[in-house]
Protein backbone atom coordinates (compact mmCIF):
# COMPACT_ATOMS: atom_id res chain seq x y z
CA UNK A 1 0.00 0.00 0.00
CA UNK A 2 1.18 3.52 -0.78
CA UNK A 3 0.52 6.26 1.76
CA UNK A 4 0.29 9.61 0.04
CA UNK A 5 0.25 13.14 1.35
CA UNK A 6 -0.97 16.38 -0.09
CA UNK A 7 0.89 17.21 -3.28
CA UNK A 8 3.47 19.87 -2.45
CA UNK A 9 4.34 21.08 -5.95
CA UNK A 10 2.64 23.70 -8.14
CA UNK A 11 0.82 22.46 -11.20
CA UNK A 12 3.25 24.12 -13.62
CA UNK A 13 6.05 21.75 -12.56
CA UNK A 14 6.63 19.16 -15.30
CA UNK A 15 6.17 15.45 -14.59
CA UNK A 16 5.18 13.72 -17.85
CA UNK A 17 2.77 11.61 -15.82
CA UNK A 18 5.57 10.21 -13.63
CA UNK A 19 4.37 11.93 -10.44
CA UNK A 20 1.57 9.39 -10.03
CA UNK A 21 3.86 6.54 -11.10
CA UNK A 22 6.36 6.83 -8.26
CA UNK A 23 4.61 4.43 -5.91
CA UNK A 24 5.29 1.60 -8.40
CA UNK A 25 9.05 2.14 -8.32
CA UNK A 26 11.17 -0.01 -6.01
CA UNK A 27 13.31 2.86 -4.81
CA UNK A 28 14.86 3.06 -1.38
CA UNK A 29 15.56 6.79 -1.52
CA UNK A 30 13.35 9.75 -2.42
CA UNK A 31 15.34 12.63 -3.86
CA UNK A 32 13.21 15.58 -2.87
CA UNK A 33 13.64 18.94 -4.52
CA UNK A 34 17.28 19.53 -5.40
CA UNK A 35 17.60 23.00 -6.91
CA UNK A 36 20.51 24.44 -8.84
CA UNK A 37 21.37 28.15 -8.56
CA UNK A 38 23.56 30.18 -10.92
CA UNK A 39 25.67 33.28 -10.28
CA UNK A 40 27.33 35.30 -13.02
CA UNK A 41 28.30 38.96 -13.53
CA UNK A 42 27.06 38.80 -17.15
CA UNK A 43 24.53 36.89 -19.24
CA UNK A 44 25.66 33.38 -20.10
CA UNK A 45 24.16 30.55 -22.14
CA UNK A 46 24.78 27.15 -20.55
CA UNK A 47 23.95 23.47 -20.89
CA UNK A 48 23.31 21.31 -17.84
CA UNK A 49 22.82 17.57 -17.53
CA UNK A 50 22.19 15.51 -14.40
CA UNK A 51 22.49 11.71 -14.50
CA UNK A 52 20.77 9.49 -11.96
CA UNK A 53 22.15 5.91 -12.01
CA UNK A 54 19.55 3.48 -10.63
CA UNK A 55 17.01 6.28 -10.40
CA UNK A 56 14.27 8.12 -12.25
CA UNK A 57 13.70 11.89 -12.46
CA UNK A 58 9.98 12.26 -11.83
CA UNK A 59 9.43 16.05 -11.68
CA UNK A 60 11.35 19.05 -13.02
CA UNK A 61 11.13 22.72 -13.98
CA UNK A 62 11.76 24.53 -16.29
CA UNK A 63 10.99 22.03 -19.01
CA UNK A 64 13.95 19.92 -20.10
CA UNK A 65 14.85 16.71 -21.89
CA UNK A 66 13.96 14.00 -19.38
CA UNK A 67 15.13 10.49 -20.25
CA UNK A 68 15.19 6.98 -18.81
CA UNK A 69 17.79 4.54 -20.09
CA UNK A 70 17.61 0.80 -19.41
CA UNK A 71 20.12 -2.00 -19.91
CA UNK A 72 19.76 -3.39 -23.44
CA UNK A 73 20.30 -6.91 -22.12
CA UNK A 74 17.12 -6.60 -20.09
CA UNK A 75 15.17 -4.90 -22.87
CA UNK A 76 16.13 -7.66 -25.31
CA UNK A 77 13.84 -9.99 -23.38
CA UNK A 78 10.80 -8.07 -24.63
CA UNK A 79 12.27 -6.32 -27.71
CA UNK A 80 10.00 -3.27 -27.38
CA UNK A 81 12.39 -0.66 -28.79
CA UNK A 82 13.74 0.64 -32.09
CA UNK A 83 17.39 0.44 -33.10
CA UNK A 84 17.80 4.21 -32.99
CA UNK A 85 16.98 4.13 -29.25
CA UNK A 86 20.17 2.14 -28.51
CA UNK A 87 23.21 3.99 -27.13
CA UNK A 88 26.63 3.01 -25.88
CA UNK A 89 26.68 3.38 -22.11
CA UNK A 90 30.10 5.04 -22.23
CA UNK A 91 28.65 7.83 -24.37
CA UNK A 92 26.55 8.82 -21.37
CA UNK A 93 28.56 7.79 -18.32
CA UNK A 94 31.99 6.19 -17.89
CA UNK A 95 32.62 3.93 -16.10
CA UNK A 96 29.23 2.28 -16.38
CA UNK A 97 27.44 1.87 -13.03
CA UNK A 98 26.84 -1.69 -11.89
CA UNK A 99 23.86 -3.32 -13.62
CA UNK A 100 23.71 -1.10 -16.70
CA UNK A 101 25.79 -3.10 -19.16
CA UNK A 102 27.65 -1.78 -22.26
CA UNK A 103 24.51 -0.69 -24.14
CA UNK A 104 21.40 1.17 -23.04
CA UNK A 105 17.97 1.69 -24.56
CA UNK A 106 16.18 5.00 -24.16
CA UNK A 107 12.67 4.13 -23.06
CA UNK A 108 9.68 5.60 -24.83
CA UNK A 109 7.44 8.03 -22.86
CA UNK A 110 5.02 5.12 -22.31
CA UNK A 111 7.78 3.46 -20.22
CA UNK A 112 7.13 0.07 -21.83
CA UNK A 113 9.48 -2.46 -20.27
CA UNK A 114 10.67 -0.27 -17.42
CA UNK A 115 12.58 -2.08 -14.69
CA UNK A 116 10.62 -0.92 -11.66
CA UNK A 117 13.33 -2.31 -9.35
CA UNK A 118 15.58 0.47 -10.77
CA UNK A 119 18.57 -1.88 -10.70
CA UNK A 120 19.14 -1.83 -14.47
CA UNK A 121 18.33 1.72 -15.48
CA UNK A 122 19.47 5.32 -15.28
CA UNK A 123 17.50 8.53 -15.34
CA UNK A 124 18.72 11.82 -16.79
CA UNK A 125 17.52 15.38 -17.19
CA UNK A 126 19.14 17.91 -19.53
CA UNK A 127 18.57 21.61 -20.16
CA UNK A 128 20.37 22.42 -23.40
CA UNK A 129 19.81 26.18 -23.73
CA UNK A 130 19.74 27.95 -20.37
CA UNK A 131 19.99 31.73 -20.36
CA UNK A 132 21.53 32.93 -17.09
CA UNK A 133 20.30 36.50 -16.80
CA UNK A 134 21.62 38.55 -13.85
CA UNK A 135 19.44 41.59 -13.25
CA UNK A 136 16.49 40.19 -15.20
CA UNK A 137 13.04 41.18 -13.96
CA UNK A 138 11.09 38.42 -15.71
CA UNK A 139 8.01 37.20 -13.87
CA UNK A 140 8.18 33.73 -12.35
CA UNK A 141 5.12 31.46 -12.41
CA UNK A 142 3.00 31.58 -9.27
CA UNK A 143 -0.30 29.79 -8.73
CA UNK A 144 -1.09 31.89 -5.64
CA UNK A 145 -1.52 28.73 -3.58
CA UNK A 146 0.72 27.70 -0.66
CA UNK A 147 3.65 25.51 -1.72
CA UNK A 148 7.09 24.87 -0.27
CA UNK A 149 8.41 25.22 -3.83
CA UNK A 150 8.43 29.03 -3.76
CA UNK A 151 10.69 29.40 -0.71
CA UNK A 152 13.71 28.37 -2.81
CA UNK A 153 13.47 31.66 -4.74
CA UNK A 154 14.57 33.77 -1.75
CA UNK A 155 18.25 34.01 -2.79
CA UNK A 156 20.53 36.36 -4.73
CA UNK A 157 20.95 33.87 -7.59
CA UNK A 158 20.56 35.08 -11.17
CA UNK A 159 17.20 34.44 -12.86
CA UNK A 160 17.27 31.92 -15.69
CA UNK A 161 15.22 31.20 -18.80
CA UNK A 162 14.97 27.75 -20.36
CA UNK A 163 12.52 26.76 -23.07
CA UNK A 164 10.80 30.13 -22.73
CA UNK A 165 10.09 29.47 -19.02
CA UNK A 166 11.49 31.71 -16.28
CA UNK A 167 12.69 30.67 -12.84
CA UNK A 168 15.30 31.39 -10.17
CA UNK A 169 16.80 27.89 -10.34
CA UNK A 170 16.71 24.49 -12.02
CA UNK A 171 14.50 22.09 -10.09
CA UNK A 172 14.31 18.29 -10.27
CA UNK A 173 13.07 15.46 -8.08
CA UNK A 174 13.12 11.67 -8.30
CA UNK A 175 13.22 8.19 -6.79
CA UNK A 176 16.33 6.01 -6.66
CA UNK A 177 17.95 2.87 -5.39
CA UNK A 178 21.44 3.69 -4.19
CA UNK A 179 23.44 3.30 -1.00
CA UNK A 180 23.39 6.19 1.45
CA UNK A 181 26.35 6.94 3.72
CA UNK A 182 24.63 6.59 7.09
CA UNK A 183 22.62 3.85 8.74
CA UNK A 184 20.67 4.31 11.97
CA UNK A 185 18.97 1.87 14.32
CA UNK A 186 17.04 2.37 17.53
CA UNK A 187 18.46 0.39 20.47
CA UNK A 188 16.42 -1.22 23.21
CA UNK A 189 17.32 1.56 25.62
CA UNK A 190 15.99 4.19 23.20
CA UNK A 191 19.36 5.49 22.04
CA UNK A 192 20.09 5.70 18.31
CA UNK A 193 23.21 4.02 16.92
CA UNK A 194 24.49 5.83 13.83
CA UNK A 195 27.11 4.27 11.57
CA UNK A 196 28.95 5.81 8.65
CA UNK A 197 29.34 3.06 6.05
CA UNK A 198 30.83 5.33 3.39
CA UNK A 199 34.41 6.28 2.51
CA UNK A 200 34.02 9.98 3.46
CA UNK A 201 33.20 11.70 6.75
CA UNK A 202 29.65 12.96 7.14
CA UNK A 203 30.07 16.66 8.06
CA UNK A 204 27.06 16.98 10.36
CA UNK A 205 24.39 14.67 11.82
CA UNK A 206 21.50 15.82 13.99
CA UNK A 207 19.09 13.59 15.91
CA UNK A 208 15.73 15.36 16.05
CA UNK A 209 12.44 14.62 17.80
CA UNK A 210 9.05 16.38 17.88
CA UNK A 211 6.25 15.21 20.17
CA UNK A 212 3.09 17.25 20.08
CA UNK A 213 5.00 20.45 19.28
CA UNK A 214 7.68 19.91 21.93
CA UNK A 215 11.02 19.41 20.22
CA UNK A 216 14.57 18.47 21.02
CA UNK A 217 17.74 17.64 19.13
CA UNK A 218 21.29 16.42 19.55
CA UNK A 219 23.99 17.68 17.21
CA UNK A 220 26.48 14.84 16.80
CA UNK A 221 28.80 16.93 14.65
CA UNK A 222 30.90 15.03 12.11
CA UNK A 223 30.75 11.23 11.87
CA UNK A 224 33.98 9.79 10.59
CA UNK A 225 34.28 7.56 7.54
CA UNK A 226 33.90 3.80 7.65
CA UNK A 227 36.74 2.08 9.49
CA UNK A 228 37.68 5.14 11.53
CA UNK A 229 37.51 5.04 15.32
CA UNK A 230 34.44 7.29 15.49
CA UNK A 231 32.51 5.94 12.50
CA UNK A 232 29.88 4.60 14.93
CA UNK A 233 28.23 6.82 17.53
CA UNK A 234 25.34 6.30 19.96
CA UNK A 235 23.03 9.22 20.56
CA UNK A 236 20.68 9.40 23.55
CA UNK A 237 17.14 10.55 22.97
CA UNK A 238 17.08 14.37 23.16
CA UNK A 239 15.16 16.13 25.91
CA UNK A 240 12.11 17.89 24.49
CA UNK A 241 12.98 21.39 25.64
CA UNK A 242 14.79 22.61 22.55
CA UNK A 243 14.41 25.82 20.60
CA UNK A 244 13.52 25.83 16.91
CA UNK A 245 15.41 29.08 16.41
CA UNK A 246 18.60 27.52 17.81
CA UNK A 247 18.13 24.36 15.75
CA UNK A 248 17.61 26.43 12.62
CA UNK A 249 20.76 28.45 13.40
CA UNK A 250 22.84 25.31 13.91
CA UNK A 251 21.60 23.71 10.69
CA UNK A 252 22.03 26.84 8.58
CA UNK A 253 25.54 27.30 9.99
CA UNK A 254 26.41 23.72 8.99
CA UNK A 255 25.03 24.26 5.47
CA UNK A 256 27.03 27.45 4.99
CA UNK A 257 30.17 25.65 6.18
CA UNK A 258 29.70 23.20 3.30
CA UNK A 259 29.52 25.93 0.66
CA UNK A 260 26.02 27.40 0.57
CA UNK A 261 25.49 31.14 0.71
CA UNK A 262 23.54 32.22 3.81
CA UNK A 263 20.37 33.01 1.84
CA UNK A 264 20.57 29.59 0.16
CA UNK A 265 20.87 27.89 3.54
CA UNK A 266 17.91 29.90 4.86
CA UNK A 267 15.86 29.04 1.77
CA UNK A 268 16.63 25.32 2.11
CA UNK A 269 15.57 25.20 5.77
CA UNK A 270 12.46 27.25 5.06
CA UNK A 271 11.54 24.94 2.17
CA UNK A 272 11.63 21.83 4.34
CA UNK A 273 10.85 23.09 7.85
CA UNK A 274 7.37 21.48 7.87
CA UNK A 275 8.85 18.14 6.75
CA UNK A 276 12.20 17.90 8.52
CA UNK A 277 10.70 19.09 11.81
CA UNK A 278 7.28 17.43 11.70
CA UNK A 279 5.96 14.99 14.32
CA UNK A 280 8.23 12.03 14.99
CA UNK A 281 11.92 11.23 15.27
CA UNK A 282 14.55 11.33 12.52
CA UNK A 283 18.22 11.70 11.75
CA UNK A 284 19.09 14.70 9.58
CA UNK A 285 22.58 14.85 8.08
CA UNK A 286 24.67 16.52 5.38
CA UNK A 287 25.66 14.17 2.57
CA UNK A 288 29.40 14.13 1.72
CA UNK A 289 30.21 15.91 -1.54
CA UNK A 290 31.81 12.83 -3.12
CA UNK A 291 28.67 10.80 -2.41
CA UNK A 292 26.54 13.44 -4.17
CA UNK A 293 28.77 13.33 -7.24
CA UNK A 294 28.49 9.53 -7.35
CA UNK A 295 24.71 9.52 -6.91
CA UNK A 296 24.02 12.35 -9.35
CA UNK A 297 26.87 13.02 -11.82
CA UNK A 298 26.60 16.62 -13.02
CA UNK A 299 27.73 18.08 -16.35
CA UNK A 300 27.78 21.87 -16.89
CA UNK A 301 29.03 23.57 -20.06
CA UNK A 302 30.76 25.98 -19.95
CA UNK A 303 32.37 24.73 -16.75
CA UNK A 304 31.74 27.14 -13.85
CA UNK A 305 34.63 28.66 -11.92
CA UNK A 306 33.24 27.13 -8.74
CA UNK A 307 30.60 24.54 -7.88
CA UNK A 308 29.16 23.73 -4.45
CA UNK A 309 26.76 20.80 -4.05
CA UNK A 310 25.12 20.46 -0.63
CA UNK A 311 22.45 17.83 0.04
CA UNK A 312 20.65 17.01 3.27
CA UNK A 313 19.77 13.39 4.04
CA UNK A 314 16.92 12.24 6.27
CA UNK A 315 16.38 8.87 7.95
CA UNK A 316 13.00 8.40 9.62
CA UNK A 317 13.21 6.51 12.93
CA UNK A 318 10.45 4.26 14.25
CA UNK A 319 11.00 4.67 17.98
CA UNK A 320 9.01 3.25 20.89
CA UNK A 321 7.49 6.70 21.36
CA UNK A 322 6.38 6.81 17.72
CA UNK A 323 4.77 3.37 17.88
CA UNK A 324 3.03 4.22 21.13
CA UNK A 325 1.74 7.55 19.74
CA UNK A 326 0.33 5.87 16.62
CA UNK A 327 -1.36 3.09 18.60
CA UNK A 328 -2.92 5.59 21.00
CA UNK A 329 -4.11 7.76 18.14
CA UNK A 330 -5.84 4.79 16.47
CA UNK A 331 -7.36 3.70 19.77
CA UNK A 332 -8.97 7.14 20.16
CA UNK A 333 -9.63 7.73 16.43
CA UNK A 334 -7.44 10.81 16.65
CA UNK A 335 -7.16 11.44 12.90
CA UNK A 336 -5.25 14.73 13.12
CA UNK A 337 -2.45 12.90 14.95
CA UNK A 338 -2.60 9.92 12.56
CA UNK A 339 -2.38 12.22 9.55
CA UNK A 340 0.82 13.77 10.88
CA UNK A 341 2.60 10.49 10.16
CA UNK A 342 1.28 10.38 6.55
CA UNK A 343 3.48 8.30 4.28
CA UNK A 344 5.31 6.77 7.25
CA UNK A 345 2.19 5.03 8.59
CA UNK A 346 2.82 1.87 6.60
CA UNK A 347 6.35 1.17 7.93
CA UNK A 348 5.30 2.18 11.45
CA UNK A 349 2.35 -0.25 11.43
CA UNK A 350 4.48 -2.95 9.81
CA UNK A 351 7.07 -2.55 12.57
CA UNK A 352 4.38 -2.82 15.25
CA UNK A 353 3.05 -5.99 13.65
CA UNK A 354 6.46 -7.62 13.15
CA UNK A 355 7.73 -6.86 16.66
CA UNK A 356 4.44 -7.83 18.34
CA UNK A 357 2.81 -10.58 16.23
CA UNK A 358 -0.15 -10.75 18.62
CA UNK A 359 -1.03 -7.23 17.44
CA UNK A 360 -1.23 -8.21 13.76
CA UNK A 361 -5.02 -8.46 13.81
CA UNK A 362 -5.26 -5.13 15.56
CA UNK A 363 -3.01 -3.55 12.93
CA UNK A 364 -5.32 -4.90 10.22
CA UNK A 365 -8.20 -3.18 11.98
CA UNK A 366 -6.20 0.05 12.04
CA UNK A 367 -5.64 -0.21 8.30
CA UNK A 368 -9.37 -0.62 7.73
CA UNK A 369 -10.10 2.54 9.71
CA UNK A 370 -7.87 4.87 7.73
CA UNK A 371 -9.86 7.45 5.74
CA UNK A 372 -9.21 7.68 2.00
CA UNK A 373 -7.87 11.20 2.50
CA UNK A 374 -4.88 9.70 4.31
CA UNK A 375 -4.54 6.48 2.34
CA UNK A 376 -3.65 5.63 -1.22
CA UNK A 377 -4.75 7.50 -4.27
CA UNK A 378 -3.01 10.86 -4.20
CA UNK A 379 0.27 11.65 -5.92
CA UNK A 380 3.40 13.05 -4.37
Q: What is the pTM of this model?
A: 0.90
Residue 193 · residue 185 · CB < 8 Å: yes
pLDDT band at 180 (very low <50, low <70, confident <90, very high): very high
Q: What is the mean pLDDT of residues 87-92?
A: 95
Indicate the average pLDDT of the chain: 90
Q: What percent of the chain has pLDDT over 70?
A: 95
| 292 CB-near residues (< 8 Å, 6+ apart) | 309, 311
The per-residue pLDDT for range 155-169, each reduced to its tens digit, is 999 999 999 999 999
How is residue 368 annotated by DSSP?
H
> 210-246: string of b/e by CB count within 10 Å (b at 16+)?
beeeebbbbbbebbebeeeeebebebebbeeebeeee
- Cα–Cα distance between 352 and 294 in angstroms, integer? 35
Who wins on pLDDT, 349 or 62?
Answer: 62
Average pLDDT over residues 37-52: 97
| Residue 208: CB atoms within 10 Å | 23
pLDDT tier, 380 (very low <50, low <70, confident <90, very high otherwise):
low
Distance CA 191, CA 126 (A): 43
pLDDT tens sequence across 225-243: 988 888 999 999 999 999 9
Amino acid sequence: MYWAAKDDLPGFVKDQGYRCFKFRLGGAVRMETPVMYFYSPREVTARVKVLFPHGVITEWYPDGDNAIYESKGLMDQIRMYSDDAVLQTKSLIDPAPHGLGPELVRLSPSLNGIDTSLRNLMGAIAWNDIKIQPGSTADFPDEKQPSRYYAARATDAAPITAGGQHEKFLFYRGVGRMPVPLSARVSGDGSVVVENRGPDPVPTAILFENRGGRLGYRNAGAIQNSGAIQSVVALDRPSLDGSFSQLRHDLETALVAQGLFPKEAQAMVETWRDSWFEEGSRLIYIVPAHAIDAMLPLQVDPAPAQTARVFVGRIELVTAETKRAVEEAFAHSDWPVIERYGRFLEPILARISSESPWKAKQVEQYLGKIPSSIGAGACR
